[in-house]
């Protein structure tokens, strides 16, 4: 018995149904433009400034790396380390080659949407901060290498813009406060000092989700 549906119309209906099924199965993968879940690794260039208590602002630049794990699309735990060379203005009490380093453990909170290529975030962390002065001179006398150490607390914000779901260009701004509580002079370590200091970091880099 011949089909009541004309053959050309029957073929067109079948093709349309198959095309619709393929589009439905492919659309979730095509629509995802960003991710924040799972392991991620990043590296960046940064501009840095340091302002000690009662002192002047000094700036410089350096590098940083991070590793993180996204527990869900919002919260990512991370470990971050960076180092910068700071240019100290002439006339300071300690003269030498200044280097600033941070080591932090923290959490990043994404305002994530997998349908967007851009993801803003806030973050906070705790850790340690150190300033090393190489070939230091104090009051005209050589002091060797001098290191200031102390705890630090950081808050920051940033924006990740995705080239593809697993790779993003990252822009970040961080403020770090805390105290230097120890001075290491090599042969002598002086503890229980109390020097407030603030540092700012502006970073440009890449983050990769393998």
Are 47 and 190 in contact by the 8 Å Cβ rule? The answer is: no
Distance (Å, whole) CA 198 – CA 93: 18
With respect to residue 8, please indicate whether it lies within any of the assigned structural domains: no
The answer to whether residue 98 sits within a structural domain is yes
52 within a domain of the structure (yes/no): yes
pLDDT for the residue numbered 13: 55
What is the predicted pLDDT for the residue at 15? 45
Alpha-carbon 55 to chain mean position: 27
Write the burial class of residue 92 (CB in 10 Å: 0-12 exposed, 13-18 middle, 19+ buried): middle
Whole-number pLDDT of residue 185: 81
**Predicted local distance difference test score (pLDDT) of residue 80:** 98
Tell whether 77 is covered by a domain.
yes
Phi and psi at residue 28, in whole multiples of 5°? -60, -40
Query: In Å, how far are 10, 30, 56, 117, 150 from 24, measured between CA atoms?
Result: 21, 10, 61, 22, 56
CA distance 62 to 99: 9
Give the CATH number of the domain where residue 61 resides. Answer: 2.40.160.20
pLDDT at residue 7 in the model = 54
Task: Give domain status of residue 99, yes or no.
Answer: yes
In a domain? residue 23:
no
The residue segments making up the domain with residue 131 are 32-208
Task: Give the chain's domain count.
Answer: 1
Here the tokens at position 122 are 């806030």
The Cα–Cα gap between 101 and 179 comes to: 14
Q: How confident is the prediction along the chain (210 residues), in pLDDT tens digits per residue? A: 455 545 554 544 544 555 454 444 444 445 789 999 999 999 999 999 999 887 788 899 999 999 999 999 999 999 999 999 998 766 566 777 889 999 999 999 999 888 899 999 999 999 999 999 887 777 666 767 889 999 999 999 999 999 999 999 999 999 999 999 998 887 778 888 889 999 999 999 999 999
- According to DSSP, residue 140 is labeled T
pTM of the predicted model, to two decimals?
A: 0.79
- DSSP state at residue 33: -
Q: Which pLDDT score is estimated for 12? A: 45
The answer as to whether 5 is a domain residue is no
Tokens read off for 198: 């603030």
Establish if 110 belongs to a structural domain. Answer: yes
């Amino acid at each position: 018995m011949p089909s009541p549906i004309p053959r050309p119309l029957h073929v067109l209906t079948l093709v349309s149904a198959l095309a619709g099924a393929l589009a439905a199965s492919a659309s979730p993968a095509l629509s995802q433009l960003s991710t924040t879940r799972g392991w991620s690794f990043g590296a960046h260039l940064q501009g840095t400034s340091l302002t000690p208590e009662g002192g002047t602002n000094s700036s410089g630049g350096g590098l940083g790396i991070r590793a993180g794990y996204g527990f869900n699309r919002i919260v990512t735990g991370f470990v971050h380390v960076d180092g910068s060379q700071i240019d100290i203005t002439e006339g300071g009490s300690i003269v030498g080659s200044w280097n600033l380093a941070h080591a932090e453990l923290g959490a990043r909170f994404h305002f994530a949407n997998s349908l967007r290529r851009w993801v803003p975030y806030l973050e906070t962390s705790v850790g340690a901060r150190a300033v090393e002065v190489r070939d230091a001179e104090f009051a005209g006398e050589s002091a060797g290498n001098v290191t200031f150490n102390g705890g630090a607390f950081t808050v920051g914000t940033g924006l990740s813009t995705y080239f593809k779901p697993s790779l993003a260009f990252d822009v970040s701004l961080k403020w770090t406060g805390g105290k230097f509580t120890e001075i290491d002079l090599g042969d002598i370590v002086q503890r229980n000092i109390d020097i407030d200091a603030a540092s700012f970091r502006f970073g440009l880099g890449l983050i990769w989700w393998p």
